[in-house]
Structures are given as C-alpha cells and as structure tokens.
Structure 1
C-alpha cells in the first residue's frame, strides 16, 4: 500500500497522518497480514532506520485500533497483544479466526455474522461494544497438529 493510500485511510478515520502513524501502518502493511506485537513493530521500525520510541508505537497502535483501522488479538504463546490491519470495511466490526496451532489469522468482515454473534454474547452477559470478535480454531493445514500433508 502506498503512503498516499495510508494517508487517505488515516484521514478517513479522522486521524492526522503523522510520520509515526504512517510508519507503523506501513510496517503492518508489509507484514502481509501477519499479526505483530508492539515490540515486533518497534524492532522493525528500528531496523528500517525510523526514529521513534516504544511509547509512540503503543500510542499509535491504541489510536489506530480505536479508530477501527487495526484488529487486536491476544497471543497466548507470546502472552501479549498482536495487531494487524483490518481488511475490507475499515471501522466496522469484524470476526477474526485465529489458529491455535500456527497462529495464522483469517478475517471475516461479515456484518450479519458479527450481529448474530453479538446477540448471542449479549444473551450470555458478555458486553460487546463494536469490538472485533476473535474465535480460536485449528486450521486444516496446521503443521503443529499434524493435519498437513
């Protein structure tokens, strides 16, 4: 994704396109959908020669997630949050399938599915406030489970 496209996306969600925001979003974009932690992002920014601090990375991630540009998930193996760019309709709720074995994630930007899951969760006392829903799965091609051919 070009910097011009990143600037347009930031402006579309009412965030000023700062160098830090553009740099963080660029790293997430080049990760190809692989979820990255704040530490991973910071390390990659340093490797690229970008000048920022870890606090700026955390603040940028929080602002972009709050604006609906990013999806955050909890990585049990690393015991930290990981982020990736929301595909499709930025700003809308999404369902994220996360493989327990290989940590691959699959985004489902399906409003009807999200609404159904939100209704079921609310019936069971779970508060949902336009957040992404993460469902843990085991994918068929997972090498850790032995399904791969």
Structure 2
C-alpha cells in the first residue's frame, strides 16, 4: 500500500483517485512551497488529470478537516495549503505576486517564548504572517 493511501486511510478518508493525486502534489512540493486550489488544479491539468476545480476545493477542505493539510488565509482572501507538519514556522507573503515563503528563526522563537513567559503564558500555537514585496515582483 502506498504512503498516500496509508495517510488517507489513517485520516479516515476513503482512497479515491482525486484524493491520491492531490495528496501527491502536496507531498512532492518543495520545502516551503504552498499551493492555492487553483495552483493544484493547474498542475493536475498539466498532467492530463481529469479533476475539476470544485473537486480540488472539496478535497482540500476534507484534508483540512482531517488534519492532513494546513490552510493559510492571507489578506485579500488568498488561501494556500501545505501538508500539516509538527514544527513551527512562519510565513512571508509578497503583496504583488502572491509568492509565499516560510521561515523558521530560532532567535524569533526564543523571543516570542520569552515575551509570552513574561506575561504569564506558555505558547501552545502561533501564526505569524509578514507582508512585503519580493525582489522579483518590484518591477511588475
């Protein structure tokens, strides 16, 4: 049994071709890659897969509910998905191109934990989004 099938079954989802294909795209993404539903749909079309955009949205919503993916909502209604992972990381978003990069800085992690501790808190979860303009989008 393939890894995708195991992950889908473990999440309580029936193994279907669209689910497997979408999971594979997310799984093969490079470190820090994030895809919108439209990005995934375009990749499926390029591969000759007959999966509609509505199906991609439905599967991603099912994956999110099952804890397989994390959805990030950005300003302007832009949402991207990545496979759920355990380690903490943050995101920086280009407001011109929509490029999303992730980063993890131990100094920032330490500072945030220190701030929380000084206020009597223990950090259990966090989300940080930085917005800016990527150098490749400056000229556009």
Task: Give the TM-score normalised by the residue count of structure 1.
Answer: 0.65
Cα pair distance change 1:133/1:64, threshold 3 Å = farther
Aligned equivalent of 2:53: 54
Q: Indicate the structure (1 or 2) with the bigger Cα radius of gyration.
A: 2
Number of the residue aligned with 2:74:
75
| Cα-Cα RMSD | 3.1
Alignment-derived partner of residue 108 in structure 2: none
**How far, CA to CA, are the matches of 1:7 and 1:70 in structure 2?**
15
Residue 26 of structure 1: aligned partner: 24
**Which structure 2 segments of 5+ residues have no match?**
106-112, 114-120, 136-140
Contact 1:97–1:136 under 8 Å retained in 2: yes
Distance 1:100 1:85, change over 3 A: same
Task: Give 1:1-149 correspondences, 5 Å limit.
Answer: 4-32=2-30, 33-76=32-75, 79-88=77-86, 95-101=88-94, 103-106=100-103, 116-117=122-123, 133-137=126-130, 144=135
Change (3 A) 1:50 1:100: closer
Task: State the alpha-carbon separation in 1 of the partners of residues 8 and 47 from structure 2.
Answer: 22
Q: Deviations over 1:6-50 (max 9, x none)?
A: 111111111111111111111112221411000010010010011
When you count helix as a share of all residues, which structure comes out higher?
A: 2
With over 3 angstroms needed to count, the CA separation of the structure-2 counterparts of 1:106 and 1:69, relative to structure 1, is: farther
Q: Which runs of 5+ in 1 are unaligned?
A: 89-93, 119-131, 145-149
TM-score by length of 2: 0.68
Match of 2:59, SS? helix
Corresponding residue SS for 2:80: strand
